[in-house]
């Protein structure tokens, strides 16, 4: 009888430990889930940054296009003509924005390629 009670106590203890372990495992996020969420967040931040840079470029171009129209009496033929007409400070800002945009787009393409390879 003592052996039966001892085996029953052992089985009950093992079941309790396994149950507690399973409960704890289900409670905390897995590393791969956290990694995937982190990667999605990083990509979203990059896309938002790209969109903000593009918006700033368009605003800069629109602001100077109005001045170009007032000065020349016509619309610019291409963006390079407009950039050449801009003040040096605006031209530098435009070039920095274009460089930033290209950098962000290259990073997004690199990440997309990594995702395709996985």
CB 57 within 8 A of CB 94: yes
Packing angle between helix 31-72 and helix 88-117, nearest 10 degrees?
A: 150
What is the domain range of residue 64? 29-117
At 73-117, the pLDDT tens digits run 888 788 888 888 999 999 999 999 999 999 999 999 999 988 777
Note whether residue 69 is domain-resident: yes
Note whether residue 22 is domain-resident: no
The total domain count for the chain is 1
Q: Is the pTM of this model over 0.85?
A: no
Tell me the helix, strand and coil percentages in the chain, rounded to 5: 90, 0, 10
Residue whose C-alpha is closest to residue 66's, from 56, 76, 54:
76
At 35-84, the pLDDT tens digits run 888 899 999 999 999 999 999 999 999 988 888 888 888 887 888 888 88
Helix, coil or strand: residue 8: helix
Note whether residue 113 is domain-resident: yes
């Amino acid at each position: 009888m003592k052996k039966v009670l001892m085996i029953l106590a052992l089985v009950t203890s093992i079941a309790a430990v396994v149950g507690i372990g399973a409960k704890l495992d289900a409670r905390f996020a897995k590393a791969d889930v956290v990694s995937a969420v982190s990667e999605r967040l990083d990509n979203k931040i990059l896309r938002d940054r790209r969109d903000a840079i593009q918006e700033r470029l368009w605003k800069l171009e629109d602001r100077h296009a109005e001045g170009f129209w007032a000065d020349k009496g016509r619309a610019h033929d291409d963006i390079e003509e407009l950039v050449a007409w801009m003040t040096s400070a605006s031209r530098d800002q435009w070039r920095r924005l274009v460089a930033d945009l290209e950098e962000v787009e290259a990073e997004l393409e690199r990440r997309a390629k990594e995702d395709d390879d996985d």
